[in-house]
Structure 1
Amino acid sequence: MLELGAGTGPVTKALIDAGCPPEQIIVVEQDSELCQTLEQRLAGVRVLQANALALGDIRQRARVQSVSVVLSGLPMRIIAPEAAASCYTAAFGLMPPGGSIIQYTYGFRPPVDAEEMPELDARFVGRELRNVPPMGIWSYRLSHARVHGHATSGEWARSREHADRQRVRQ
């Protein structure tokens, strides 16, 4: 599992408490003090200090071939839509077909607009009211057509990256 924007690690800790082996978790956090806190608080979890939006660099640095799920606490509503799309593209490129991004948010709207990434199926999972502030949880997957017939997660990500590079060149 790859967690982007782990903060102080309450979600990571809850996953470990629920039985997820710490050695199967990689957390990415940009702030060096938070990284130190995570390393002290979550023994066995691999902590990377990096910009979570730069998943390509993280993938190389961490020598990650594949992950089953990406958990994101990144504030996608305030991130430029192109950067959010690029991050999700790279995340789906790390997962096998059918993989999902679990995105939590503190707002009431979806963290990634369907208009920005129409190839995604978004599903509101629920709200964790015990968290302060309450946390909304969303699940993002590639649309059914993308997974069953048109492109796998990795193929879709590569084609999207190619399209992004073409736009930059124009």
Structure 2
Amino acid sequence: MTVSKPRASDPCNRSADDARFFRGWLKRPLQMGAVSPSSRGLGRAMAAYVPLGAVEAGMAVLEIGPGTGAVTQCLIDRGVPEESLVLAEYSPEFCELLAARFPLARIVRGDAYAPNGDLDAALGGRAVAATVSSLPLFTKPDALREQVIGGSLARMEPGHPFIQFSYALTVPVKPEKVGASVEISPWVKLNLPPARVLVYRRG
């Protein structure tokens, strides 16, 4: 992973996000998983699980696989300060876009399935209040799914959430595999396709 703060043209032009996302999906379908950004309804549902009190106490919010920043904006709208966000994204194009849209956030370019010291550097010693994931976990083998969720939970204090959305009827990781419990939201039917929010916690 490399910490980057590149620039992007027309970052406010969100009307082009669907096209950007679709181009990314065509290049990397197994890494993207979806052909369009998450809806605001789904983003708000995910953001609702972030413990704002912990953020106000100085903890960071880690978002992995933020794409064009649809969920990121919902986190900010909910009350997460932009400077509290650490965004870990694989796509160089999306990193450039995120850095332009959210200049106070820390952008880390790299593979969320194999994080390195750059992520710790971006956190700057801050504890993580919540991990918010839009990774397409079902495109990866079980061991990698467990590594992402289990590793994220290990980075956080007990009780803090790993927040993931899913289109599937089953969970990507059985909670007992990572020593956690899982809470499942109702379906967000206005998302395309409909999705649910899964919240894993330990302790």
Match of 1:43 in 2: 103
Deviations 1:64-97 (A, max 9, x none): 4420111111111121111121222221222112
Change (3 A) 1:118 1:49: closer
Change (3 A) 1:44 1:129: farther
Greater mean deviation of Cα atoms: 131-140 or 17-26: 131-140
For the residue of structure 2 that corresponds to 1:8, the secondary structure is coil
1:82 aligns to 2:143 (yes or no): yes
Q: How many residues align?
A: 142
Contact 2:89 2:107 survives alignment (8 Å): yes
Deviations 1:6-56 (A, max 9, x none): 111101111112221010011111010011111122232211111011234
1:108 aligns to 2:166 (yes or no): no
Match of 1:68 in 2: 129
Unaligned 5+ segments in structure 1 are: 148-170
Change (3 A) 1:126 1:47: farther
Partner Cα separation in structure 1 for residue 70 and residue 198 of structure 2? 17
1:21 aligns to 2:45 (yes or no): no
How big is the shift at 1:2? 0.3
Partner Cα separation in structure 1 for residue 75 and residue 107 of structure 2? 15
**Sequence identity percentage:** 29
Contact 1:56 1:90 survives alignment (8 Å): no
Contact 2:150 2:178 survives alignment (8 Å): no
Contact 1:122 1:138 survives alignment (8 Å): yes
Change (3 A) 1:118 1:40: closer
TM-score by length of 1: 0.74
Match of 1:91 in 2: 152
Higher relative contact order (CA 8 A, sep 6+): 2
1:52 aligns to 2:146 (yes or no): no
Change (3 A) 1:43 1:108: farther
Contact 1:55 1:91 survives alignment (8 Å): no
Unaligned 5+ segments in structure 2 are: 1-60
